[in-house]
Amino acid sequence: MLRQHEVAERIKQYILQNRLGPGDPLPTEAELCAAVGASRSSVREAIKTLTALDIVEVRHGHGTYVGRLSLAALVESLTFRGLLSRSDDFRVLSELVQVRQTIEQGLAGPILAAFDDGLHGELLDLADQMAERAARGESFIEQDREFHLLLMEPLGNELITQLTAAFWDVHAIVAHTLDTTPESVRETVEAHHAIVAALSAGDVTAFTQAVEAHYAPVRRRLQEGPGH
């Protein structure tokens, strides 16, 4: 296993030394073996490890590329932890809600500073779609995800965008088994409209309160415990 780890490290060094970036092709397997001084089987195994971390991406029939270096591995690991601890008072979900709320509220200043008419239109449209879908008893998971990503996008901080997406995905998977009531769904939809209104008014306090209200239904549900 040390050997496998070492070969993976050498491939990473190769990527760095050759100044390759996400999406750039890696050399052929034979060339890579020569470059890192390892056997085909060792290189193949190392490639698999690096694929799990999204450092390398294998496109079948095309070749091997530098990966997107996304936080896919974080999602994988957190989701699994969430599923494992499902009996443990929704521990991962509680933790996730605190992190999501802290980041959204903590970035109120920069979010408000970056807010403009274009973003207002897009967020309002998504909140309206959520309300319509909820009224028809449909899920609005896509719109919800898009809304939270759009909030962060103007900050231009790729790490925050990736963390937001990762946390949202894990939240959606882990919360999947949670019961919702028509009341809590209505509350969630209203909170999104309240977030848009607060942004539009340039009101930090109202924004902070709307984010708090957004997580209130899931917080209540978590306090009831898994038995309910």
CA–CA gap between residue 11 and residue 7 (Å, rounded): 6
CA–CA gap between residue 92 and residue 167 (Å, rounded): 11
Least distance in angstroms from the C-beta of 92 to a copy of itself: 7
3-state DSSP call for residue 225? coil
**Residue choice 117, 136, 159, 183 for contact with a copy of itself (CB under 8 A):** 159
**Residue choice 45, 89, 153, 203 for contact with a copy of itself (CB under 8 A):** 45
In the region spanning residues 12 to 41, those forming contacts with a copy of itself, defined by CB under 8 A, are 12, 15-16, 19, 21-22
Site for a copy of itself contains 62 (CB under 8 A)? no
**Contacts of residue 218, Cβ cutoff 8 Å, sequence gap at least 6:** 93, 97, 175, 178
**Residue choice 14, 35, 74, 200 for contact with a copy of itself (CB under 8 A):** 74
CA distances from 59 to 35, 66, 67, 173, 177 (A): 21, 11, 10, 27, 34
Q: Which stretch binds a copy of itself (CB under 8 A): 95-103, 118-126, 174-182, 190-198?
A: 95-103
| CA angle 7–9–12, rounded 5-degree value | 115
Name the residue nearer to a copy of itself (CB basis): 171 or 192.
171
In the region spanning residues 161 to 190, those forming contacts with a copy of itself, defined by CB under 8 A, are 163
3-state DSSP helix/strand/coil % of the chain, to nearest 5: 75, 5, 20
Q: Which stretch binds a copy of itself (CB under 8 A): 124-132, 133-141, 153-161, 212-220?
A: 153-161
**Residue choice 60, 62, 136, 228 for contact with a copy of itself (CB under 8 A):** 60
| Amino acid identity for residue 103 in this structure | I
Site for a copy of itself contains 70 (CB under 8 A)? yes
Name the residue nearer to a copy of itself (CB basis): 60 or 228.
60
| Cβ-contact 206, 197 below 8 angstroms | yes
Least distance in angstroms from the C-beta of 6 to a copy of itself: 14
Site string for a copy of itself, 100-119 (x = CB under 8 A): --xx-xxx------------
Q: Which two tokens stand for residue 1?
A: 């296993």
Q: Where are the alpha helices (DSSP H) in 59-157?
A: 72-84, 91-106, 108-114, 117-135, 141-152
Q: Which residues bind a copy of itself (CB under 8 A)?
A: 1, 4, 12, 15-16, 19, 21-22, 45, 48-55, 58, 60, 69-71, 73-74, 76-78, 80-81, 83-84, 87, 91-92, 94-96, 98-99, 102-103, 105-107, 155, 157-160, 163
